[in-house]
Amino acid sequence: MRLKLVQAGEPVLRETARPLAREEILSDSIQQLISAMRETLRDAPGVGLAAPQVGESIQLAILEDLPEYSREVSAQDLAQRERRPVPFQVIVNPRIVSYGDSKVEFFEGCLSLNGFMALVPRSREVVLECLDERGNEQVIRASGWYARILQHEIDHLNGTLYIDRMHSRTFMTVENYRRYWKDSQS
């Protein structure tokens, strides 16, 4: 079942989502939500989706960066972004416990700001603690594009959008990004 993606301006996107108890994570309703979110993410397509983006103010997000999503990205751009496929993953109640020293800037978009992009600085590396879809504790060490996706989705769980972190003069439509910036970003 495909879920409706809420867009900027919806109050749920600006709330701090509530944590989930282990029993809730294992419930049929949350397991069904995870499945529906996965279908919605793939249909969009996107690389991450947080529960607030489908109207649920809970600390739950999913990630998946399939190889076919970067098929049209040059090998040089993939290397520069440190972008590698990320298998399907569920993060619940995530908390970033460490940020790397270096920051990198790349353009980001968002399924809840459909049709726009901007240059956003993010930490190149993060370490986070969370629960998985079975309520098991996880420690995730991520770098490159994977770290960027995690930071973006965790921001959603805390009521933050990429436009809160972007370089405001770089905010543009996806069409203008493709026309003027896609091949010139360093």
* pLDDT tens column, 128-171: 999 999 999 999 999 999 999 999 999 999 999 999 999 999 99
Assigned fold of 11-181 = Peptide Deformylase (3.90.45)
Reported in sequence order, the residue ranges of 100-180 that DSSP labels E, i.e. its strands, are 103-109, 116-123, 125-131, 137-143, 172-173
Q: What is the tens place of the pLDDT at every residue in 75-133?
A: 898 999 999 999 999 999 999 999 999 999 999 999 999 999 999 999 999 999 999 99
Task: DSSP letter for 2, please.
Answer: P
What is the rounded CA–CA span in Å between residue 66 and residue 168? 29
Residues with Cβ within 8 Å of 62's Cβ and at least 6 positions away in sequence, in order, are 34, 37, 38, 41, 48, 49, 88, 89, 90, 91, 153
Domain range summary for the chain, segments of one domain joined by +: 11-181
Amino acid at 91: I
Catalytic residues, by residue number, are 153
How many helices (H) and strands (E) in the chain?
5, 8
